[in-house]
Structure formats: C-alpha cells, structure tokens
Amino acid sequence: MGTFSILNQSASGKNLQRLFLLRIIAIVSQIIIFWTVYSVIELELPWMPIILTISLLAVLNFFTWIRLRYAWLVTNPEFFVQLLIDVASLTALLYFSGGSTNPFISLYLLPLTIAATVLPWHYTWTMAVITISCYTFLLFQFVPLPHDHLDDHSRHMFEFNLHVSGMWLTFVLSTLLITFFVVKMNASIRDRDKELSRSREQALQNEQIIALGTLAAGAAHELGTPLSTMAIITGELQQESLENVEFQRSIRILRDQIALCKQTLTHLLADAGQARVEEGNGQPVDVFLQQVIDKWQLVRPSIRFTSRYDGMQPAPVIMNTRLLSQSILNLLNNAADASIRQVDITCRWDEKQLHLEILDDGPGLDAEAAEHAGEPFFTSKGPGQGFGIGLFLANTNIERFGGSVRLFNRPEGGACTHVILPVLQGTASTSL
C-alpha cells in the first residue's frame, strides 16, 4: 500500500486525491513565496503564525493522505470540509500578510471553482458566501505590510511593483491549477460516461438474454413431446433392415442426435439461474477443450477438422460450466457452417490465459458481417439457416467469464474466431 495506484479509486476518491496533490503544490508555493519575502525582499512579517499555519496545513494534508489509503466513500460533506480547510489556511496567511491588499487574494477563486466543478449547487453557493465573507473580513481586519524603511516615493513604487508581480504570479498559479483540476475532472466525467454506457449496454444484453431464456423455456416444453415421438419411431426403425449396414449407421446417428437434444432440453430448465461462474467445476484446460470438441464431433459428425494443443504441463485449470462449453460449441458450429473443407482448431495456454483460435476456410466476413457480428438476431446465413443468436450468446457468456471474442478475416482466406479466457490460479496434473 505504498503507491498512489492502490489508493481510493472511486470517483469521489480520485477528486480528493487531486485536491491532495493541489494542496501539496500550494504548500510548496507558499514556502517558496514566503522564503523569498523573508530573504530577498526582507519584509518583517509575523513569521511565527505564518509558519504555524503552513505547518498545520501540511499536517492536515498528511492525514488526508492516510485517509485516502482506505476504500471508504468520500462523501460530498467530507470533500466540502476539505475545501474549507484550504479556505481557512488561505485566510490566515492573507490576514498576516496584508489582507485584501495582498495580490494573492484572488486565490479564493480556486476552492470556489473546485466546488462548482465537483459538488452540488448548494455546496457551491455556500462556498461562494464563505469566500465573499472572508474577503470582506480581510478588507477591514489584517496585519499591514511594513514599509517604514522606505520614503514615500519608494514606498509607492515598491507597493506597485510588488502588487503587479503578485498579480502575475497569482494568475499563473490559478491558471495552472484550475487547468489541471478541470482537465482531470473532464477525464473523470468521460470515464464515468463510458462506464454508464457500458452499464446500459450490459443491462440491454441482460434483457435480451432474459427474453431468449423465456423463449428457450417455452421451446423446451414444446419440443419434449416430438423428440420423444422421434425416439420411439427411430427405435422401431432400428429393428428393421438389420442387414443394411448403411441404414443402421444412419439410424444410429439419428438416435444419437435425438438423445443429445433430449439431454440438452432436460438440463436447460434444471440449469436455469444456476450457471454462475462460481458454481462451475475447475478442470484442466486440455481436458475441458477435448470434451467440448468430442461433443461437437458428436453433433457434427460430418465435419472434418484438425486440433492442436500447445501449453504448459500440467495444464492450468479453467472454470468448466455448461454456459462456457455451450458458448464454445456455438463458435465451433459457426465455423463449421462457414467452412468449405475443414476447420482448424488451435489451443494455446499459459499460467494466465487460454487462447483458442477457430479457423475456417470459408468466404470470410463481408463488410456488413464484420460490422454487426455478435449483435443479437443478426446473421449472414440464408433464410431458415440461423437465428443470429449463437455468436451473441457466446460473446456475452465469455465476457461474463472475463474473456473476449474477436472475429476477423484471415489474409489467406476464411475467418478466424479468437477466444481469450482467463485460467484459474494453480494447475492440475490431468492431461490428455
């Protein structure tokens, strides 16, 4: 916990971090300015209360740094109190160094600008009233700057030059600090808008998934009866033409497909609402991938494919859930539909990530497919050949597991589906 990167990372926490940095700049600037006044200009000021004020501000800023190391939410009242500390210290320093005649009086605009940028309007108006009151107080109550060692002409020239120089320095400091804070605040606002946009997109995807889940539940109920009927009929057909090897092979494939459909429908409702990442089982990456490919081979027995595995042994563990395996199956089916001759599957992993590349030798992605791939109900297949939800569901589910899916054209032709998935800490000794 010794670096700034692990401090409070909420939006309000980042604002307090910036105020902490601005206060450091203010303390350093005050030390430099008063040291110049003491050693170069040689003005006699009440140095003891000035030093105590700067020291107290530094101590309070140190406690602010300690507070930032905790993940507690920075509330608006707390941030407002932090600004009041700066106003109080500035008022004290101005009181002991000329009051309203001090050219640094315009620094009151800094906490007011910060309050207007960060806090709700009632805090801003309260800060405006407080700073105006402090300025008004310093019009009448302050320790004047000493000029006893100068004649009238020299005193007027000195006051004029000092005031002009102070105004210039105040403008430079105010410009730099306000620019720094406003730029950082604009960056925070843009980050917040991006986060809100991602949240809205995620909420929309969740609504679409819920709608698809409702339709799937109804479809599962409706398909149960016709699948049972087909299972009975294919069982009876299997008893016929026993000498016809090709016929028996086709019936066996058909019965396997029907059994797989029934098994999928059986688990559909049982798994609904329980397919969370934490409820899956850890399994070696190579074993998990081989099981998915074996299931895909059962579903698509006519597809020619090659598979290659490359990674550390023993293989790391990946979270094996039905959602994840089904998502990869959807991607494999999309590649099989697009492929002309065969599908090439390449699996690579290390101690952090699994990289799965599914290569087809089809025509590749056209401009429309490249732009809209992964959107719900978009499909580049012909009428009746796809619903446009396979890639959408696969991408959504894989992102829920902390992974990503990227679909792009290959230079040599065809398309590549690149899946990246995180693996769990630790390895398993089971391998292919």
Domain housing 71: 4-146
In a domain, 182, yes or no: no
**pLDDT higher for 189 or 105?**
105
Does 31 lie in the same domain as 8? Answer: yes
Does 14 lie in the same domain as 98? Answer: yes
Does 284 lie in the same domain as 244? Answer: no
Does 289 lie in the same domain as 257? Answer: no
Q: Among the listed ranges 83-97, 131-145, 160-174, 267-281, which one has the minimum average pLDDT value?
A: 267-281
Does 141 lie in the same domain as 74? Answer: yes
Compute the distance between CA of residue 185 and CA of residue 210 in angstroms, rounded to an integer.
37
Rounded average pLDDT over 86-113: 87
* pLDDT per position as a tens digit, 181-221: 667 766 777 777 777 777 777 667 666 666 666 556 556 65
Compute the distance between CA of residue 251 and CA of residue 228 in angstroms, rounded to an integer.
15
Exposure of 136 in the CB half-sphere (CA atoms within 13 A): 6
Does 285 lie in the same domain as 266? Answer: no
Does 240 lie in the same domain as 262? Answer: yes
- Residue 270 has what pLDDT? 58
Compute the distance between CA of residue 266 and CA of residue 272 in angstroms, rounded to an integer.
11
pLDDT at 4 over 50: no
Rounded average pLDDT over 3-31: 75
pLDDT at 320 over 90: no
- 357: its two tokens: 């590349």
Does 259 lie in the same domain as 286? Answer: no
In a domain, 175, yes or no: no
pTM of this structure: 0.47
Its sign, for the CA torsion 40, 46, 47, 53, is negative
In a domain, 203, yes or no: no
- Residue 57 has what pLDDT? 94
SS3 content of the chain, % helix, strand, coil (to 5): 65, 10, 25
- Residue 133 has what pLDDT? 92
**Other beta carbons within 10 Å of 176:** 11
In a domain, 168, yes or no: no
* pLDDT per position as a tens digit, 370-401: 665 655 555 555 444 444 566 777 777 788 77
Residue with tokens 């398309």: 415
| Residue 329: partners with Cβ closer than 8 Å, 6 or more residues away | 292, 295, 296, 299
Does 29 lie in the same domain as 82? Answer: yes
In a domain, 379, yes or no: yes
Q: For the domain that residue 403 is a member of, what is the CATH number?
A: 3.30.565.10
Split into its structural domains, the chain has a count of 3
